[in-house]
Protein backbone atom coordinates (compact mmCIF):
# COMPACT_ATOMS: atom_id res chain seq x y z
CA UNK A 1 0.00 0.00 0.00
CA UNK A 2 2.98 2.31 0.34
CA UNK A 3 3.85 2.49 -3.35
CA UNK A 4 0.32 3.30 -4.63
CA UNK A 5 -0.22 5.89 -1.89
CA UNK A 6 3.05 7.67 -2.64
CA UNK A 7 2.41 7.38 -6.38
CA UNK A 8 -1.02 9.03 -6.12
CA UNK A 9 0.36 11.76 -3.88
CA UNK A 10 3.19 12.51 -6.32
CA UNK A 11 0.72 12.37 -9.22
CA UNK A 12 -1.57 14.92 -7.53
CA UNK A 13 1.42 17.16 -6.91
CA UNK A 14 2.44 16.93 -10.55
CA UNK A 15 -1.07 17.40 -11.96
CA UNK A 16 -1.76 20.45 -9.82
CA UNK A 17 1.65 22.08 -10.27
CA UNK A 18 0.11 25.16 -11.93
CA UNK A 19 -1.83 26.05 -8.77
CA UNK A 20 0.82 27.31 -6.35
CA UNK A 21 -1.33 26.79 -3.25
CA UNK A 22 -2.10 23.19 -4.14
CA UNK A 23 1.50 22.48 -5.13
CA UNK A 24 2.89 23.48 -1.73
CA UNK A 25 0.19 21.64 0.19
CA UNK A 26 0.54 18.50 -1.93
CA UNK A 27 4.31 18.52 -1.47
CA UNK A 28 3.83 18.71 2.29
CA UNK A 29 1.31 15.85 2.20
CA UNK A 30 3.72 13.74 0.12
CA UNK A 31 6.47 14.34 2.67
CA UNK A 32 4.13 13.44 5.54
CA UNK A 33 3.04 10.24 3.78
CA UNK A 34 6.69 9.34 3.20
CA UNK A 35 7.49 9.98 6.87
CA UNK A 36 4.54 7.88 7.96
CA UNK A 37 5.58 5.04 5.63
CA UNK A 38 9.12 5.08 7.04
CA UNK A 39 7.73 5.11 10.57
CA UNK A 40 5.48 2.11 9.89
CA UNK A 41 8.28 0.18 8.19
CA UNK A 42 10.70 0.89 11.02
CA UNK A 43 8.24 -0.52 13.55
CA UNK A 44 7.25 -3.46 11.35
CA UNK A 45 10.83 -4.54 10.66
CA UNK A 46 11.98 -3.74 14.19
CA UNK A 47 14.70 -1.17 13.55
CA UNK A 48 12.84 1.66 15.27
CA UNK A 49 14.84 1.07 18.47
CA UNK A 50 18.19 0.61 16.71
CA UNK A 51 20.65 3.32 17.72
CA UNK A 52 22.08 4.88 14.56
CA UNK A 53 24.08 7.71 16.08
CA UNK A 54 24.65 8.83 19.65
CA UNK A 55 21.02 9.33 20.76
CA UNK A 56 19.32 8.97 17.38
CA UNK A 57 17.24 5.86 16.88
CA UNK A 58 15.80 4.53 13.65
CA UNK A 59 12.37 5.99 14.35
CA UNK A 60 13.80 9.49 14.79
CA UNK A 61 14.74 9.57 11.09
CA UNK A 62 11.01 9.76 10.29
CA UNK A 63 11.00 13.25 11.80
CA UNK A 64 12.96 14.57 8.80
CA UNK A 65 10.09 14.36 6.26
CA UNK A 66 7.52 15.49 8.86
CA UNK A 67 9.52 18.60 9.71
CA UNK A 68 10.27 19.21 6.02
CA UNK A 69 6.53 19.15 5.31
CA UNK A 70 5.93 21.70 8.05
CA UNK A 71 8.65 23.91 6.54
CA UNK A 72 7.07 23.64 3.07
CA UNK A 73 3.64 24.73 4.31
CA UNK A 74 5.16 27.41 6.56
CA UNK A 75 7.17 28.79 3.64
CA UNK A 76 3.99 29.05 1.58
CA UNK A 77 2.03 30.86 4.28
CA UNK A 78 4.89 33.16 5.29
CA UNK A 79 6.25 34.13 1.88
CA UNK A 80 4.10 32.99 -1.05
CA UNK A 81 0.47 33.27 0.02
CA UNK A 82 0.19 37.04 -0.12
CA UNK A 83 1.67 37.10 -3.62
CA UNK A 84 -0.79 34.46 -4.79
CA UNK A 85 -3.74 36.32 -3.28
CA UNK A 86 -2.60 39.63 -4.77
CA UNK A 87 -2.10 38.13 -8.23
CA UNK A 88 -5.63 36.68 -8.22
CA UNK A 89 -7.25 39.88 -6.95
CA UNK A 90 -5.43 42.85 -8.48
CA UNK A 91 -6.43 46.27 -7.14
- Of these ranges, 24-33, 47-56, 59-68, the one predicted with the greatest mean pLDDT is 24-33
Phi, psi (degrees; rounded to nearest 5) at 51: -80, 120
Residue 83 is part of which domain span? 2-88
The mean pLDDT value for 39-57 works out to 83
pLDDT digits 0-9 by tens, 69-90: 999 999 999 888 777 666 666 6
In Å, how far from its chain's centre is CA 31? 2
Spatial distance between the Cα atoms of 87 and 19, rounded to a whole number of angstroms: 12
Contact 38, 61 (CB under 8 A): yes
How many CB atoms sit inside 10 A of residue 78's CB?
Answer: 9
How many domains, in total, are found in the chain?
1
Mean pLDDT of the chain: 87
Q: Per DSSP, what are the bridge partners of residue 57?
A: 51
- The SS3 of residue 57 is strand
Amino acid sequence: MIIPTLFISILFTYKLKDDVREWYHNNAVTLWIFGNCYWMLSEFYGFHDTVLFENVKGIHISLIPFVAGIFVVSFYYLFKRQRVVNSKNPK
